[in-house]
Amino acid sequence: MKKILSLSSIILFFFSFAAVADEPVKYVISFPNAVHHEARISMSISEIPAGKLTVRMSRSSPGRYATHEFGKNVYNVQAANEQGKSLTINQVQGDVYEIPDHNGKLTVSYTIFGNWIDGTYLGIDETHAHMNMPATFMWAQGFEQRPIQLQINDLDKYGWKVATQLKPDTDAKIFTAANLQYFLDSPVELSAFKLSSWKDINTDKNVQTIRLSAHSADDQTVIDGYAKMVERMVTEAKAVFGELPTFDFGTYTFLQDVNTENAGDGMEHRNSTVIVERTDKISGNEEDLLSTFSHEFFHAWNVERIRPKTLEPFNFEHANMSNELWFAEGFTQYYGELILKRAGYRDLDTYCGTLKNLLNGVLNAPGANTFPATQMSRYAVFADAGVAVDQTNQVNIFTSYYIYGATIALALDLRLRSEFNLSLDDYMKAVWVTHGKTEIPYTVSDLQKVLSKLTNTAFADDFFTRYVYGTDKNDYKKLLAKAGLVLRHPMADKASIGMVRLSPVNGKLRVAMNTLKGTAAYEAGLDIGDFLLKIGSDESKSSADLETILAKHKPGEEVEITYEHRKTIKNVKVKLQANNSMEIVPAEKAGLKLTPAMEKFRKSWLSSSLN
Chain positions contacting Zn ion, by CB under 5 A = 329
Our CB check for Zn ion shows the closer of 139 and 301 to be 301
Give the residue closest to Zn ion by C-beta: 329
Shortest Cβ distance from residue 295 to Zn ion (Å)? 6
- CA pair distance 561, 535, nearest whole angstrom: 5
Our CB check for Zn ion shows the closer of 185 and 329 to be 329
Whether 276 and 117 have beta carbons less than 8 Å apart is answered as yes
User: Cβ contacts of residue 35 below 8 Å, gap of 6+?
Assistant: 125, 126
Our CB check for Zn ion shows the closer of 60 and 514 to be 60
Our CB check for Zn ion shows the closer of 148 and 406 to be 406
Our CB check for Zn ion shows the closer of 268 and 530 to be 268
Q: Exposed/middle/buried for 2, CB within 10 Å: 0-12, 13-18, 19+?
A: exposed
Our CB check for Zn ion shows the closer of 447 and 532 to be 447
Shortest Cβ distance from residue 503 to Zn ion (Å)? 31
Shortest Cβ distance from residue 191 to Zn ion (Å)? 24
Q: Residues 214, 216, 219, 223: is their CA dihedral positive or negative?
A: negative
Whether 597 and 417 have beta carbons less than 8 Å apart is answered as no
The DSSP letter of residue 8 is: H
What H or E segment, with its residue span, contains residue 572?
strand 568-575
Our CB check for Zn ion shows the closer of 39 and 328 to be 328
DSSP string, 445-456: HHHHHHHHHHS-
What H or E segment, with its residue span, contains residue 297?
helix 286-298
Shortest Cβ distance from residue 300 to Zn ion (Å)? 11
The DSSP letter of residue 581 is: -
Whether 264 and 277 have beta carbons less than 8 Å apart is answered as yes
Shortest Cβ distance from residue 471 to Zn ion (Å)? 23
Shortest Cβ distance from residue 324 to Zn ion (Å)? 13
What H or E segment, with its residue span, contains residue 164?
strand 161-164
Question: Could you give phi then psi for residue 66, rounded to 5 degrees?
Answer: -105, 165
Shortest Cβ distance from residue 410 to Zn ion (Å)? 17
- Secondary structure of 468-482 as H, E, C letters: HCCCCCCCHHHHHHC
Shortest Cβ distance from residue 560 to Zn ion (Å)? 46
Shortest Cβ distance from residue 266 to Zn ion (Å)? 7
Query: Of 314, 313, 156, 185, which Cα lies nearest the Cα of 253?
Result: 185
Our CB check for Zn ion shows the closer of 62 and 71 to be 62
Our CB check for Zn ion shows the closer of 165 and 519 to be 165
Q: Which amino acid is at 606?
A: L
- CA pair distance 305, 332, nearest whole angstrom: 13
Our CB check for Zn ion shows the closer of 265 and 329 to be 329
- Secondary structure of 484-517 as H, E, C letters: CEEEECCCCCCEECCCCCEEEECCEEEECCCCCC
Shortest Cβ distance from residue 336 to Zn ion (Å)? 8
Q: At what angle do helices 220-241 and 286-298 cross, to 10 degrees?
A: 40
Q: At what angle do helices 330-342 and 596-606 cross, to 10 degrees?
A: 110
The three-class DSSP label of residue 132 is coil
Question: Could you give phi then psi for residue 141, rounded to 5 degrees?
Answer: -70, 135
Our CB check for Zn ion shows the closer of 143 and 334 to be 334
Shortest Cβ distance from residue 325 to Zn ion (Å)? 9
- CA pair distance 509, 532, nearest whole angstrom: 6
Shortest Cβ distance from residue 36 to Zn ion (Å)? 33
Q: At what angle do helices 330-342 and 348-363 cross, to 10 degrees?
A: 160
Our CB check for Zn ion shows the closer of 329 and 530 to be 329
Our CB check for Zn ion shows the closer of 269 and 494 to be 269
Shortest Cβ distance from residue 263 to Zn ion (Å)? 16
Shortest Cβ distance from residue 63 to Zn ion (Å)? 7
Our CB check for Zn ion shows the closer of 139 and 298 to be 298
- CA pair distance 418, 423, nearest whole angstrom: 9
Query: Of 86, 13, 65, which Cα lies nearest the Cα of 318?
Result: 65
Q: How far is CA 365 from CA 182, 277, 328, 491, in A?
A: 38, 29, 21, 17
- CA pair distance 341, 593, nearest whole angstrom: 23
- CA pair distance 51, 53, nearest whole angstrom: 7
Q: How many CB atoms lie within 10 A of CB 235?
A: 15
